Amino acid sequence: MVFSSMTFLLLFLPVTILLYALRRNIKWKNGVLLIASLFFYAWGEPVYILLMLISTGINYLCALGIDRSGSAKNARKLWLFIGVTASMVFLIWFKYAAFMVNSFAGVFSLPYHMAEKKLPIGISFYTFQVLTYTVDVYRKKAAVQKNPARLLLYVSCFPQLIAGPIVQYADVAGMLDDRPFNSRRFSEGARRFAVGLSKKVILANLCGSAISHIDPADASTVVSFAGAWYVALMYTFQIYFDFSAYSDMAIGLGRLFGFDYKENFNYPYVSGSITEFWRRWHISLGSFFRDYVYIPLGGSRCSVRRTIFNMMVVWSLTGFWHGASWNFILWGMYYGLLLITERFVIGRERLNKLPYLLRAPAIFVLAVIGWVLFYHTDLSLAARQLCAMIGIGNHLQLVDPLTAAVVRKYSVLPLMALIAAMPVLPAVRKLADDNRVTRALSYVAATVLMLLSLVFLVGQSYNPFIYFRF
């Protein structure tokens, strides 16, 4: 079940909200939300829900063990090791085992091939979430949760279960015990959800539909210079609107049920540096790797050589987190190298002295190039598209007839996407909330967007969520 499905919008969500609002008791609300969340996950993964339950149960017991160990350092470390290892074993087995075994067999020419496992939906997200709980208890950043149902609600809460944002336990621990539910928060959450749904259904899906006509992943497709850039640009917008839309909907749904989730995207395509880009893109993932990998490795509090090593480890893992494929690892290393170059070769102060109107377009182009690596699991196809983008290739055309036809069909789409990717909405929202009249108009506009999204959904056959495969 996905947020942009009729089943979710017209059946699951209304019923859940109705049951949730029946009583003020927090136990009732938590119970309704927990049952709804487990049903939501089981709708698409009836078997793999056991993995989430087992992973949560193990970390629940390990956190209790950490808490009861008091100041016994070795015992605390042992419980932490068991919890982290148990969760990572599930993630590695389903997501990475086949890739690692087959890569090893390929390097040493061994006659063995391991079939890829079906990837449980959302396993990367809920694994990281349950790990933040155990680690936060170990660090004494959060109190141990003695109620297993509340811990399971934190891990499985359906607004952010499938594709984030990654919610650290310490940020929502208090909300599991008490949180508001009122008309103002409900209306704000509904408005945010409507905006996210329209970004997904209208913008992301249209960008994806445009790409499907000139698919550079099809080796038989003639990729011209214009076609290569057009597909790269449309994918750059598609992945942003797809994932940021899911985050908008998750934050909006969280607000409906009383949770305040942190922002996950902050208009990354206006960034004036790669560092700024990653402070604005998938913020929760960046925070996770910073707090639980980069800083424990030593962060920047060490020699330049060690700092560079730490950065490459983090960015290689960031790429690998997205998928068991060499293109994701290269994508992560690409950003690691860009960040190292920006910090230690160019220098941030020198970079910031350059005019913003020069920096921002350059950073955007670098992001577009990065998404080509991200898009193609077949590196030969990625190389083919990148070569076409710089004008290299046998019998390369400037513009092919297919690209020209698609550009004419979706003529307004690139401009719409570019405007929507700029920080226009926050300014409009701030203006709308200045008084009752403009605030009421903003809710009318959100209602229109919601209805328009439903109309689009009825007529669309293309409606995937890109980040579901991660």
Tens-place pLDDT, residues 142-197? 999 999 999 999 999 999 888 778 898 988 989 999 888 888 889 999 999 999 99
In a domain, 105, yes or no: yes
In a domain, 133, yes or no: yes
* Same domain, yes or no: 114 and 200: no
* Same domain, yes or no: 271 and 381: yes
d(CA 396, CA 149): 60
Of the candidates 113, 213, 282, 322, the residue annotated as catalytic is 322
Domain end marker among 179, 196, 212:
179
Q: How many domains does the chain have?
A: 2
Q: What is the pLDDT of residue 431?
A: 72
> Which residue range(s) make up the domain with 400?
185-469
- Longest distance between any two alpha carbons in the chain, whole Å: 71
d(CA 10, CA 4): 10
Nearest to 263 by CA among 249, 278, 283, 277: 283
Q: What is the pLDDT of residue 454?
A: 87
Q: Which residues contact 99 (CB under 8 A, 6 or more apart)?
A: 116, 324, 325
In a domain, 76, yes or no: yes
* Same domain, yes or no: 341 and 361: yes
* Same domain, yes or no: 360 and 245: yes
* Same domain, yes or no: 196 and 84: no
d(CA 5, CA 3): 6
d(CA 349, CA 351): 5
In a domain, 223, yes or no: yes
* Same domain, yes or no: 303 and 194: yes
* Same domain, yes or no: 150 and 261: no
Is 26 in a helix, a strand, or coil?
helix
d(CA 339, CA 342): 5
pLDDT range class, residue 316, cuts 50, 70, 90: very high
In a domain, 1, yes or no: no
* Same domain, yes or no: 141 and 204: no
Domain end marker among 141, 159, 179:
179
Domain end marker among 179, 195, 211:
179
pLDDT range class, residue 15, cuts 50, 70, 90: very high
* Same domain, yes or no: 393 and 266: yes
CB 244 within 8 A of CB 263: no
Amino acid 378 reads D
Which of 69-83, 92-106, 362-376, 437-451 bottoms out in mean pLDDT, i.e. has the lowest?
A: 437-451
* DSSP type of residue 346: I
What tens digit of pLDDT does each residue of 359-380 get? 999 999 999 999 999 999 999 8
* Same domain, yes or no: 216 and 110: no
Q: What is the pLDDT of residue 218?
A: 65
Q: What is the pLDDT of residue 360?
A: 95
Q: Which residues of 241-278 are buried (b: 16+ CB within 10 A; e: fewer)?
A: bbbbbbbbbbbbbbbbbbbebbebbebbbbbbbbbbbb
* Same domain, yes or no: 208 and 339: yes
- Catalytic site includes residue 282: no
In a domain, 460, yes or no: yes
* Same domain, yes or no: 312 and 449: yes
Q: What is the pLDDT of residue 147?
A: 94
* DSSP type of residue 199: I
In a domain, 271, yes or no: yes
In a domain, 374, yes or no: yes
33-36-40-43 Cα dihedral, nearest 10 degrees: 160
